């Protein structure tokens, strides 16, 4: 059980570690003009020019600077004269190495899976079409995303590499191969629609701009319509998430991605007045004193099938003091069996609907839970 709860805590920390930012006004090196193609994402700007598209990614850890600037140029056209400084990427991309299953799933939404020539961490990929390609020898397994197999990457010779950046992380030999590295900082956005809007960048990269714009417009409409509907809810049940790890219980900050989702789904979050966009470490006593009467408790785990009320109480007896425990109103998401991490980043409307149904079951009596399930006895 201790190993299980460590896995739960690790997954929670990875999700909640986000930073504050306000990049729309930032400038750096070459100045980034005000964009018209991006409206929700804080870390992404997309500006059209004659002959190229300027894509600016703000540094999440220092929002006065750019993390990367890309100049997207159609591969069948000559390079424009006097291009500003930045990484030139010829589009549409035809063969890429994709580190994350999140971005692989987004490309599936766009109908661009055939442009993925290789992936990292194949063991964690759950997309059937990609697994079929791998079994047929049409997909290169580049190994661990923390240390990819250089020889396999060289053999693949991709047009570009898509990965998630980390603070002060270098890319070693991969970064010296002359292959454009697309730093997808979408996971550091603090609003659900802000993260989902990065689908527009993928659309531009893969020649699927119309598909990306149409998909995001549908997601935006569904999300905002449901949010507006839930704003009229008379009751707002109190919700908490995850479990304590060691001496600390890491809760989403009041300005975090999950806190925004809880609010938009018609829930009351005990730390909504907190100003942090990342996770906040709290003692068990602090959590219990403020949220002991929380109505709903949500837990994510790589193998939540092993979780139960009995197991929770055995792991830490004071958990049983929570109202959600006493009323058996705890829900678990088994990320080993469902596509929570693959689907929800670029389909926040699906997660919002799930949370809305959990918080207000009387308003959605026919909804079938997609990610979370009632905890076993």
| Residue 144: Cβ within 10 Å count | 11
Collapse the DSSP code of 183 into the 3-class scheme (helix H, G, I; strand E, B; otherwise coil) and give the result.
Answer: strand
Q: Integer distance in angstroms from the first to the last C-alpha of the chain?
A: 16
In angstroms, rounded to a whole number, what is the distance separating the alpha carbons of residues 173 and 163?
A: 15
Confidence of residue 32 (pLDDT cuts 50, 70, 90): very low
Q: How confident is the model at residue 36 (pLDDT cuts 50, 70, 90)?
A: low
Question: pLDDT tens digits for 258-317?
Answer: 999 999 999 999 999 999 988 999 999 999 999 999 999 999 987 655 788 999 999 999
Set out the domains of the chain in order of their start, with CATH numbers: 2-16+234-374 (3.40.50.1980), 26-223 (3.40.50.1980)
Query: Exposed, middle or buried by CB within 10 Å (0-12, 13-18, 19+), for 297?
Result: buried
Q: What is the pLDDT of residues 76-128, one digit of tens each?
A: 999 999 899 999 999 999 999 999 999 999 999 999 999 999 999 998 888 89
pLDDT tens digit sequence for 173-192: 899 999 999 999 999 999 99
Q: Residue 335's pLDDT is what? A: 87
Tokens, residue 249: 């219980």
> What's residue 277's pLDDT?
86
Three-class SS of residue 15? helix
pTM (predicted TM-score):
0.87
In whole angstroms, what is the distance from residue 151 CA to residue 174 CA?
10
Tell me the angle at which helices 209-230 and 348-359 cross, rounded to the nearest 10 degrees: 20
* 290, 254 contact by CB (below 8 A): no
Flag whether pLDDT at 1 surpasses 70: no
């Amino acid at each position: 059980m201790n190993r299980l709860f460590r896995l739960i805590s690790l997954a929670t920390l990875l999700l909640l570690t986000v930073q504050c930012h306000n990049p729309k006004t930032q400038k750096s090196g070459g100045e980034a003009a005000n964009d018209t193609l991006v409206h929700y994402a804080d870390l992404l700007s997309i500006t059209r020019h004659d002959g190229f598209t300027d894509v600016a990614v703000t540094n999440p850890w220092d929002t006065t600077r750019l993390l990367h600037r890309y100049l997207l140029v159609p591969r069948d056209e000559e390079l424009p004269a006097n291009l500003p400084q930045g990484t030139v990427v010829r589009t549409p991309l035809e063969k890429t190495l994709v580190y994350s299953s999140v971005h692989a799933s987004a490309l599936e939404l766009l109908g661009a899976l055939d442009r993925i020539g290789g992936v990292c961490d194949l063991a964690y990929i759950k997309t059937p079409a990609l697994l079929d390609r791998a079994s047929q020898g049409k997909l290169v397994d580049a190994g661990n995303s923390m240390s990819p197999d250089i020889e396999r990457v060289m053999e693949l010779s991709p047009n570009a590499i898509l990965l998630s950046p980390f603070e002060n992380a270098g890319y070693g030999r991969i970064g010296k191969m002359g292959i454009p590295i697309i730093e997808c900082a979408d996971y550091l956005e603090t609003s659900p629609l802000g993260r989902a809007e990065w689908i527009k960048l993928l659309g531009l990269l893969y020649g699927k701009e119309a598909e990306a714009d149409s998909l995001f417009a549908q997601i935006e409409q569904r999300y905002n319509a449901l949010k507006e509907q839930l704003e009229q809810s008379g009751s707002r049940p109190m919700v908490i998430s995850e479990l304590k790890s060691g001496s600390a219980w890491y809760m989403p900050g009041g300005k975090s991605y999950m806190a925004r989702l809880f609010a938009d789904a018609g829930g009351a979050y005990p730390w909504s007045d907190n100003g942090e966009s990342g996770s906040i470490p709290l003692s068990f006593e602090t959590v219990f004193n403020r949220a002991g009467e929380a109505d709903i408790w949500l837990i994510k785990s790589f193998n939540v099938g092993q979780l139960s009320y009995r197991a929770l109480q055995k792991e830490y007896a004071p958990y049983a003091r929570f109202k959600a425990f006493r009323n058996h109103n705890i829900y678990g998401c088994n990320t080993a069996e469902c596509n929570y991490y693959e689907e929800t980043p670029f389909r926040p409307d699906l997660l919002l609907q799930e949370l809305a149904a959990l918080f207000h079951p009387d308003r959605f009596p026919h909804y079938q839970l997609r990610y979370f399930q009632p905890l076993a006895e």
